[in-house]
Amino acid sequence: MLSLIQEEAFSSTYKRALTNDLISSEDTSIIFFDTDKLEEKLQYLKTLFPESTHAIAIKSNPLIVNLKTILEYGFSLEAASMEEIELAKAAGAENHQIVFDSPVKTTTEIQLLAEQLKGIHVNANCIEELDRLKILQDHVVGLRINPLVDPGSPDHLSVSRSSSKFGVPISLENEIIQAALDYDNVQCLHVHIGSQIDDLNSLPIALERILDLARIINQRAGFKKIHTIDLGGGFPVNYQLDSVLGMEQLRENILRRTPQLFSEYKTITEFGRFPNAHTSWMVSEIEYELSYTTPKTIMVHLGADSFVREIYSFQEKHRKFILSGKDYSIKKGQETAYQIGGPLCFGGDFLSRNCLLPKVEKADKLVIADVGANTFSLWSRHCSRAFPKVIAYSKDKMEIIKSRESYTDIINFWS
C-alpha cells in the first residue's frame, strides 16, 4: 500500500542524522531522501503495469543514488538531454535502458548516438527530425504525436494544445502516416500530454487515437512496423492530502478504451513525478522572525532556488511543519498565520503568503514535505547560494550522498 512519509518520521530521521554526526553548523538546509519509499513506488509500478518498460524521467530527480536505485530495480531511465544520458551512464545504465527524448537533438549528438550509443531508444519530436535520425539503424526510433486532448493540467504543464512545441499534431494524420512509412527505423509512436494530469480519461483518449494511427501504418506497411507505444508520464501527485493517489483508475480507463494496448504492443512509460515526489523532504533553519509584517514572516534558507515552479507560477502546494528546536519533535497546538520568506533577493521569493503553523520559537526549523520531484532538480543559481547536503536513508542505512556545495564549487561553476 502506498503511503506518505509520516510526521513522526521527520523527527526521528532528523534525530538519527544528528546522532550519526551527519549534520554540521553550516547546514542551513538539508535534503532527506528515503530510498525505501522510492522502492515502494517502483514496486507499485512494476505490479500495476507488469507489461511495460518503465523509463523514469531523470529530470524529476537526477541524484545519482536515485538513478542507481531505479536501475537496480530493473527499470530504465528517460533522458531529455545528452547531459542526462551521461548521468544515466554514470549511474550504470546500459544503452537499452535509456530513452532519449530531447526536442533539440543536434547533428553532432545524433552522430554520437549512431557511433557510440547504439541501442538507445530515441523519440523524434517532429517529422523534420526524422531525416537526421535516419542514420540510426541500431535504434528503435519513435515519433512523438500531439493527440490534441485536454489533460486538465495547469497551463504551464500542458503540452497537448495546438500551440505546443512538443509532437506532431494528430490533425496531420496523412503526414504522420507517410513519415512512418518512409523511414525504416520508425517503429514507435510516442505520446506525452502533460504533467499533473487532472482528467484521467485524457491519456486513454490520446492512446486510442495513437493506436488508430499505428493500426493504419501497420496495415499500409503490410507488417507490424509500429510495435511499441510510449505512453509518456504525467500522472498527478497530491501534495496536500494525507494519502497517495494511486494509478488503478488510470489503468482501468486505459484498458476500457484500448484493451489491446498491452497485449499487442510493447509499451514504455516515462513517469517521473509519481515515483519520486513523496520520497524526499527538506528542512531549513528559521533564521529570523519578522514581527512587523502582516502576517509575521519567518525567513528560511529555501525559496525560489529550490521551488522554482511553485514560486514563479504562484502555486503553494507542499505540506509544511515546524520541527522544534528543543527536542526535534513536530510541533502541534494552536496555529498562527505566517509568511514564509525565502533567501533570494527579489520580492516574490515566498514559499507561502499565509501558512498556518504552530507558534515559531528560537531554533525551530521548517520541514517541507514531498520534494522529491521537480523541486531541487530545477535548482536556480540566482544569488549563487549553495546546493544543500543530501542525506539518503533507509531502515538499515543512513549516509551523505551529496555534500553541501562549497564556496569553491560556486566559483568553479561561474568560472
Q: Please say if the pLDDT value at position 197 is more than 80.
A: no
Mean pLDDT, rounded, for 116-128:
97
Model confidence pLDDT, tens digit, residues 272-293: 999 999 999 999 999 999 999 9
Q: Confidence band (pLDDT; 50, 70, 90) for 316?
A: confident
**Nearest partner of 232 among 86, 53, 104, 376, judged by Cα:** 53
Mean pLDDT, rounded, for 395-400:
97
Cα distances (angstroms) measured from residue 329 to each of 134, 160, 268, 280: 59, 45, 43, 18
Model confidence pLDDT, tens digit, residues 331-379: 999 999 999 999 999 999 999 999 999 999 999 999 999 999 999 999 9
Contact residues for 312 (Cβ-Cβ < 8 A; gap 6+):
304, 348
Model's pTM, two decimal places? Answer: 0.94
**Contact call for residues 253 and 204 (beta carbons, < 8 A):** yes
- Measured in whole angstroms, the distance separating CA 340 from the mean position of its chain's CA atoms is 25
Contact residues for 12 (Cβ-Cβ < 8 A; gap 6+):
none
Q: Confidence band (pLDDT; 50, 70, 90) for 3?
A: confident
Model confidence pLDDT, tens digit, residues 132-188: 999 999 999 999 999 988 766 566 656 666 678 889 999 999 999 999 999 999 999
**Contact call for residues 91 and 113 (beta carbons, < 8 A):** no
Distance CA 225, CA 209 (A): 17
CA atoms in the 13 A half-sphere facing the CB of 162: 2
Q: Which domains does the chain have, with CATH numbers?
A: 7-33+277-414 (2.40.37.10), 62-271 (3.20.20.10)
**Residue 61: per-residue pLDDT:** 98
Model confidence pLDDT, tens digit, residues 218-273: 999 999 999 999 999 888 888 877 777 889 999 999 999 999 999 999 999 999 99
Strand pairing report for 266-269 and 53-57: parallel
**Contact call for residues 317 and 241 (beta carbons, < 8 A):** no
Cα distances (angstroms) measured from residue 172 to each of 130, 176, 179, 186, 290: 16, 6, 11, 17, 57
